[in-house]
Structure 1
Amino acid sequence: MTPSARIAAAIEILDRHLAGSAAEQALTAWARSHRFAGSGDRAAIRDHVFDALRCLRSFAALGGAAELPTGRALMIGALRDAGISAETLFTGEGHAPAPLSASEARPPPTDLPPNVALDCPDWLAPLLEDSLGDDLPPVMRLMRQRAPVTLRVNLLRTTRAKAQSALADEGISAVPHPLADTALHVTENPHKLRNSPLYLDGRIELQDAASQAVVAMLPLTGAARVLDYCAGGGGKTLAMAARAPARYVAHDIAPQRMRDLPERARRAGIRVDLADSARVASLSPYDLVLLDVPCSGSGSWRRAPEAKWALTPARLAELQQVQRQILDETHEFVAPGGVLAYVTCSMLRAENGDQVAAFLRRAPGWQCTVQRRFTLRDGGDGFFCALLTRVPR
């Protein structure tokens, strides 16, 4: 496919998304009806679509449709944002998009409002400013970019240096990431990872650097009993188990999210006990309970840009209630002297420090010993982690 044809495809997919389809569904539907498109074409089109979703407001404004975005306006704006003349690709020739109309050809605005330029929803801007302060503009500018590809090295199977060398032999360049001693930042040929022997035999996993840094904060010992209560796919469970040979129990309110965890654990040489709610309670108390709670995901909007535009005040309030409920339901699972680790991939104070403070007011006999926030300026996703210790009586 030509560059113009790829842009035309992205316009079609974006219009499907803007009409109500999830971006992944729109991409899949397009690929099924255009089987001639090769893997390189599909990857390039996917990049166009997700770049446009990360920069929805600014691209729409640059494309002349700030109030009502369209796929066409978004791709015109994307080209202008990159300093490329849209007229050179919107030619109408072959499979290229139709030429620009007179209104589309007008010069774009040169001074976008701050929230538009930063691709920030207006209602969220005050909350983010309260949470990030002076970091708001640089963090939101980073949020407009693609997320880095970061690997976690399984220390049970290899070392970071050996993994880096073996990847280089496969033509995959990676450098140590400063956030965690297990992290490698992939700088060249990330598309080769899925077929890499290191990935296939469990020596490496894809995992954000800040997520790895959170795991490195956790008090893990070989004799501990550890519960990952909101395990999801089990990435943090596996990361913990690679650090210390404790007994690991994984639970999720939607067990199907953990369906791949047994195979991933086998590949990594790790044993994990998957448990339902009744079994979780019967195995308590635990020395460490990890709560990677449902949240706005504002720290990972680079990876899931739809979530930035889908979040509403009502949904945020609902998530805060879920977070409070999980804290209240699980803290009794912690043994005296044990730790409750409260984690989000959010940058909002309302989901982070405010939740911890409110819990400490509700639950006497607990103290916060460590609290740390990671932003995109640290080199990974946005994360928050607080270690809450149950004071022995």
Structure 2
Amino acid sequence: MTPAARVQAAIELLDAIVDAAQREGAPADRLIADYFRQRRYAGSKDRRAVRELVYRAIRVCSEVPQSGRAAMGALGVEDEAILQLFDGSNHGPAPIGNGEIFAEPGIAPAWLVEQMAASGIEGEELTALMDRAPLDLRVNALKSDRAEIDLPIEGSHIASFQGLRFPAGTAVEQWPAYRDGMIEVQDLGSQLACQASGTKPGETVIDLCAGAGGKTLGLAAQMRSEGRLIACDIDRRRLSKLGPRAERAGAGLIETLLLNPGKELDMLGDLAGQADCVMVDAPCSGTGTWRRKPEAKWRLTPERLSRFSAAQDNLLDIAAKLTKPGGRIAYVTCSLLDAEGKDRIAAFLRRNPGWNPLEPGLSLGRIHGAGIRLTPYHDGTDGFFIAILGSSC
């Protein structure tokens, strides 16, 4: 592909990403993968270059742009070499017209920037969310140990029990250790969330929003495959990915349970009051993951934020009914908005006077309300809010 053709490909992808953001469609990484699956002629360098252009353009735009061309033009204002490729050449973008308007530059939509500032995320804290994230691994303690594992590249130790950090883009999926389930890709913040839960061998643990099971596998490793670990979700497609991952990791204790929305307690009835720990890795806005998924800033609306908050309250109430006396809830969101973190825990504690916040026992993070906050700027992690709640009755 010529440089101009790469820019045009990025514009086409941005069109698809903008459309998906407006109708809650597929995420950017899936759209990019599908795009190149249909264009086998594009080599690895072309795919990398186009992907980089797409994410650079997303990061530079504040509001949802009118088109992929408007987004790429906004990037071109910062990088004039890109504007020069709007030359009308074969497979390249058409020349820029008189009075053509590009997308507005900025970190995020204005209403969302205000919400972030009200939650204490502004200045360097906010701009750090537009950086590229490193690649973090968790060494699977069921099969190996961070001090002993032999990898093609030496990673740096990070502040989790089994974490290693590598440069962004390291092709770990091609390593034998990945194929054999000795390592998992997992951000440091997610690893610390598992650690904060305090799960240990022999416990009964419920992962209420397991998704594809990243944290479930981390919990299984902490439990040394001793006890009972039930991974639940309402999304069949995501939950179906956990079985093969668990087998590869040697995590035989994991049970999966597909839940019907609104009937979670009915389906978990035999576990009511039985869990030592319930992990609530709640669905959220993902404002803490913009380093990896910058298009998430375009997918959020005030209405969606309200729906997330209501769902988080519901999940916390379900978790309370599943937890035994003296048990605990680990509440986690990859959001930096108080509406999904500090405020949700404060509301839960008002509704449930028999519960109290517990010390998460982490070496990173700063106290925020009744929990702690991790941020890219201060902690080098994705953005997280983590609260550990203990039942006294």
**TM-based fold match above 0.5:** yes
Cα RMSD after superposing both structures: 2.5
Match of 1:141, SS state, is helix
* Residues 52-131 of structure 1 mapped to structure 2, 5 A cutoff: 52-57=57-62, 69-81=66-78, 83-103=79-99, 118-131=106-119
Contact 2:313/2:344, CA 8 A, preserved across alignment: yes
Residues of 2 paired with 1:174 and 1:71: CA distance?
Answer: 37
Closer, same or farther in 2 for the Cα pair 1:30/1:369, shift >3 Å?
closer
2:151 matched to which residue of 1? Answer: 166
For structure 2, the residue ranges without an aligned partner over 5 or more in a row are: 259-263, 360-370
Structure 1: how far apart are the matches of 2:140 and 2:348?
34
Aligned pairs for 1:273-284 (under 5 A) are: 273-276=255-258, 277=264, 278=266, 280-284=268-272
**2:327 alignment partner, one of 338, 347, 354:** 338
Aligned residues of 2:278 and 2:323 also touching (Cα < 8 A): yes
Amino acid at match of 2:280: L
Contact 1:31 1:42 in 2 (8 A): yes
CA shift at 1:12, angstroms? 2.0
Distance 1:281 1:90 in 2: 61
Question: 2:367 — aligned with what?
Answer: none
- Aligned equivalent of 2:387: 386
Asked if the contact 1:56/1:74 (under 8 Å) is kept, the reply is yes
Instruction: Show CA shifts across 1:159-190 (max 9, x none).
Output: 22333x4232xxxx53222x323222212751
* Equivalent residue, structure 2, for 1:268: 249
Specify the alignment match of 1:225 in structure 2: 204
Q: CA deviation at 1:279?
A: 5.4
Structure 1 residues 143 and 251, CA gap change in structure 2 (3 angstroms): same
1:1-393 residue pairs with structure 2 within 5 A? 1-20=1-20, 22=26, 23-24=28-29, 26-27=31-32, 30-57=35-62, 69-81=66-78, 83-103=79-99, 118-132=106-120, 135-163=121-149, 165-168=150-153, 174-177=155-158, 179-187=159-167, 190=170, 192-245=171-224, 246-271=227-252, 272-276=254-258, 277=264, 278=266, 280-284=268-272, 285-370=274-359, 371-377=371-377, 378-392=379-393
Structure 1 residues 137 and 188: CA distance shift in structure 2, 3 A: closer
Extract unaligned runs of 5+ from structure 1: 58-65
TM-score normalised to structure 1 length: 0.85
Question: Which secondary structure state, in structure 1, belongs to the residue aligned with residue 210 of structure 2?
Answer: coil
In the alignment, which residue of structure 1 is the partner of 2:368? none
Residues 322, 197 of structure 1: alpha-carbon distance in 2 compared, 3 angstrom cutoff: same
- SS of the residue 2:123 aligns to: helix
| Most deviating of 213-222 and 30-39 | 30-39
C-alpha distance in structure 2 between counterparts of 1:19 and 1:383, whole Å: 28
Structure-2 separation of matches of 1:359 and 1:220: 22
Q: CA deviation at 1:220?
A: 1.9
Counterparts of 1:198 and 1:329 in 2: how far apart (Å)?
38
TM-score, reference length from structure 2: 0.85
Contact 1:174–1:188 (CA under 8 A) maintained in structure 2: no
Write the distance in 2 (CA, Å) between the matches of 1:256 and 1:9: 29
Q: Which has the higher contact order (CA 8 A, sep 6+)?
A: 2
Determine the structure 1 residue equivalent to 2:364. Answer: none
Whichever structure has more helix as a proportion of its residues is 1
Distance 2:135 2:2 in 1: 27
Q: 1:25 to 1:8 in 2, by over 3 A?
A: same
Greater mean deviation of Cα atoms: 342-351 or 301-310: 301-310
User: Contact (CA 8 Å) 1:51, 1:145: kept in 2 or not?
Assistant: no
Matched residues, percent identical?
39
SS at match of 1:151: strand
Deviation at 1:84, TM superposition (A): 4.2
Give the counterpart letter for 1:181 in structure 2. F
Letter of the 1:155 counterpart: A
Cα distance in structure 2, aligned partners of 1:215 and 1:162: 22
Deviation at 1:206? 0.9
By how many angstroms is 1:19 displaced?
4.4
Do the aligned residues in 1 keep the contact of 2:64 with 2:298 (CA within 8 Å)? no
Count of residue correspondences: 366
Distance 1:333 1:40, change over 3 A: same
Code of the residue aligned with 1:71 in structure 2: it is: G
Q: Aligned partners of 1:16, 1:189: CA distance in 2, in Å?
A: 24
SS in 2 for 1:385: strand
Q: What SS class does the counterpart of residue 42 from structure 2 fall into?
A: coil
Distance 2:92 2:246 in 1: 47
Shift of 1:373: 0.8
